[in-house]
Amino acid sequence: MSIGNRLKKLRKELGMNQTDFGARLNLSQTTIGQYEKETRPITERVISQLTAEYNINEEYLRHGTGEMFVNHRSNIVAELADKLLLSEREQQLLLAYSTFPIEKRQLFLDFACDFFHKLQEPNHPER
């Protein structure tokens, strides 16, 4: 698999279109499309930005070896757990949430807000 195909696979794994994927790097949809089709070479600067912004494993992007993503999330959640005294289940929830594509996160937040408001109702059995 070529670097362009791996980039496309990474983008799709993140649940993003070319426009949104490129926007976080100040790159146009056209540029991302050119990278994916390999009509334009990906510069070292862009590879560096991609790996930093999306926690992409550079070896995977360049050569197709190793895991797709570097798992910095679990380290961040572990640090947060220490500071906020989070339980194991709370840590698992944060890790799972952090892997959702953006549109799925919004669905989850909408559900959580609705649930929270229901708990606040005066006649709710949990109150």
Find the mean pLDDT for residues 1-18: 94
pLDDT recorded at residue 126: 60
pLDDT recorded at residue 92: 87
Separation CA 38–CA 8 (nearest Å)? 11
Answer yes or no: do 59 and 8 share one domain. Answer: yes
pLDDT recorded at residue 70: 82
Separation CA 36–CA 40 (nearest Å)? 8
Better-predicted residue by pLDDT, 3 or 71: 3
CA dihedral 65→6→29→34, nearest 10 degrees, is 100
Q: How many domains does the chain have?
A: 2
Answer yes or no: do 50 and 80 share one domain. Answer: no
CA distances to 10, 42, 74, 102, 126 from 105, in Å: 18, 30, 18, 5, 26
- The 10s digit of each residue's pLDDT in 98-108 is 777 777 888 88
Residue 113 lies in a domain: yes
| pLDDT reading at 18 higher than 70 | yes
Q: Count the neighbouring beta carbons within 10 Å of the beta carbon of residue 77.
A: 19
Reference 69, options 55, 79, 80; nearest CA is: 55
Separation CA 75–CA 61 (nearest Å)? 22
| pLDDT reading at 37 higher than 90 | yes
Answer yes or no: do 79 and 58 share one domain. Answer: no
- The 10s digit of each residue's pLDDT in 44-72 is 999 999 988 888 989 999 999 988 888 76
Specify whether the CB–CB gap between 58 and 71 falls below 8 A. Answer: no
Query: Quick one: pLDDT band at residue 28, thresholds 50, 70, 90?
Result: very high
Provide the residue range defining the domain that includes 80.
73-120
Answer yes or no: do 57 and 77 share one domain. Answer: no
Find the mean pLDDT for residues 107-122: 89
- Identify the three-state secondary structure at position 69: strand
